[in-house]
Amino acid sequence: MLPSPNGSSIAYELGSVVAVVAGGEKWPDGSLRPAIGDLWGAGAVIAGLSVHGPRSPEAQVAADAWATVSERVADALHDCASGRELIAAGYAGDVAVAAKVGRSESVPVLRDERFVDAART
């Protein structure tokens, strides 16, 4: 069992493989664009698994990136390109919610092309 930031536990067996994927974005021309916020989020998850086994080099980079911003994640999200774009488009509240690490009490599940709280489905 791993303790999660909100005090509950995450259960998985030692030796299990855990895959974490940082989603990314697309530029207006459709080409792929790195999303630093997604990398930080993946790194936060990976850092929470740090006591169990080796990491791939990619996972280590994500965890290191998270360690770099974890103490100032709200400012970092507001300052990165995606954060600035979201704020300019009127989504400052979404950026603020993304900075709340370990505070969510719901699990989002995709239903009918939108995310809903799994506890309410």
What pLDDT is recorded for position 8?
Answer: 45
Q: How far apart are the first and last CA of the chain?
A: 26
Alpha helices in 57-119 (DSSP H): 57-69, 73-79, 81-88, 92-98
20-39 pLDDT per residue, tens: 888 888 888 999 888 899 99
Q: In this structure, are residues 58 and 66 in contact, taking their beta carbons and an 8 Å threshold? A: no
Look at 93 and 109; give whichever has higher pLDDT. Answer: 93
Tell me the domains of the chain and their CATH numbers.
2-120 (3.90.1560.10)
46-94 pLDDT per residue, tens: 888 856 667 889 999 999 999 999 999 999 999 998 899 999 999 999 9
